[in-house]
Amino acid sequence: MIGAAPAKINLALVVGPRRADGKHELVTVFQRVDLGDRVRIEPALETTVTGFSADTTVRSALDSLEAPHGWRVHIEKHVPLTAGLGGGSSDAATALRLANAQLPTSRTAEQLHELAARAGADVPFFLHDGPQLGTGDGTTLEPLDLPQDFFVLLLIPNGASKPSTASVYEAFDLRSGQAGFDERVAALRDALAQVRRPRDLAALPPNDLARSPLADELRTRGAFRADVSGAGPAVYGLFHRSADARRAARELRRLGRTWITIPAWYG
């Protein structure tokens, strides 16, 4: 079986204090985009993953499925690596979904969600359709009714090397980034309640974990919202018109790799 594994952007990411389990409390708005990998999977004697030698998440997710056999997986990569776009998490969710469909007795949606949460905090999102509000450590999801009629310009800066996600959160703790968490969450929920048109997304609060001057460059070129996705380094800009997104991509190509895509509802 073959399935699409779309990337995501975080339209908002509000981060709070470290929890007892070592993870951080957060509230985030997940949005799929129509840029993705392709995952092919079939039963095999043992589990092998080709196409992406650095994979660990797909194998971990499939091992948790406890199938009576292994899996032969091939990943056709298109989502940039370690960019904050969730490519590995999407691959894992897609592999879980496709493998589950090939089992004699499929796991329930609730069971798949639990297995996905063990594989990674972003993985469950990719099992659900449409934009989602992620809370807790990001694995508790609530569907959102958000406009989808806009264009997305993704930009990864030249020479960008993402530090580990753990180190990004450590830096957040050192600067006492959790201060005012409840107020920022309230502001996010208030802003979401007012969203009717794409440009209303501009009122969502900025990413708590990472900032980039490239977001200002995107806004200068017509993006009605621009921010870092996840822990970065990918930056996105939202545009009303594809022509404006294409023009911005041409002007900013000297600063990094660019992709123009659109929102996606499901994998």
Question: Among the three residues 120, 143, 166, which one is the final residue of a domain in this structure?
Answer: 143
Our CA dihedral for 9, 19, 164, 65, rounded to 10 degrees, sits at -70
Residue 267 has pLDDT above 80, yes or no: no
Phi/psi for 3 (5° steps) reads -145, 155
Does 199 fall in a domain? no
| Domain match, 125 and 168 both | no
Q: pLDDT tens digits for 158-205? A: 987 767 888 889 999 999 999 999 999 999 999 999 999 999 999 999
Does 236 fall in a domain? yes
What pLDDT, on the 0 to 100 scale, is given for residue 219?
98
| Domain match, 162 and 95 both | no
What are the catalytic residues?
8, 122
Beta-carbon-side half-sphere exposure of residue 240 (alpha carbons within 13 Å): 7
What pLDDT, on the 0 to 100 scale, is given for residue 179?
95
Residue 38 has pLDDT above 80, yes or no: yes
| Domain match, 18 and 113 both | yes
Q: How far is CA 20 from CA 4, 17, 23, 254, in A?
A: 35, 10, 7, 44
Q: Are 127 and 96 in contact (CB under 8 A)?
A: yes
**CA 79 – CA 47 distance, rounded (Å):** 23
Residue 65 has pLDDT above 80, yes or no: yes
| Domain match, 108 and 172 both | no
**CA 88 – CA 94 distance, rounded (Å):** 10
| Domain match, 135 and 171 both | no
Range scoring the smallest mean pLDDT among 169-178, 200-209, 213-222, 237-246: 169-178
Average pLDDT for the chain: 95
| Residue 130 domain boundaries | 2-143
What pLDDT, on the 0 to 100 scale, is given for residue 165?
84
What pLDDT, on the 0 to 100 scale, is given for residue 21?
93
Does 157 fall in a domain? yes
Range scoring the smallest mean pLDDT among 26-40, 46-60, 207-221, 236-250: 46-60
Does 193 fall in a domain? no
Q: Tell me, what CATH number does 79's domain have? A: 3.30.230.10
Does 198 fall in a domain? no
Confidence band of 54 (pLDDT split at 50, 70, 90): confident
| Domain match, 122 and 160 both | no
When divided into structural domains, the chain yields a total of 2
| Domain match, 134 and 30 both | yes
Does 162 fall in a domain? yes
**CA 221 – CA 247 distance, rounded (Å):** 8
Residue 128 has pLDDT above 80, yes or no: yes
Does 196 fall in a domain? no
Mean pLDDT of 226-250: 97
Question: Among the three residues 92, 127, 143, which one is the final residue of a domain in this structure?
Answer: 143
| Domain match, 123 and 24 both | yes
Mean pLDDT of 232-252: 97
Give the long-range contacts of residues 111-115, CB within 8 A, separation 24 or more: 113/139, 115/61, 115/64, 115/65
**CA 238 – CA 260 distance, rounded (Å):** 10
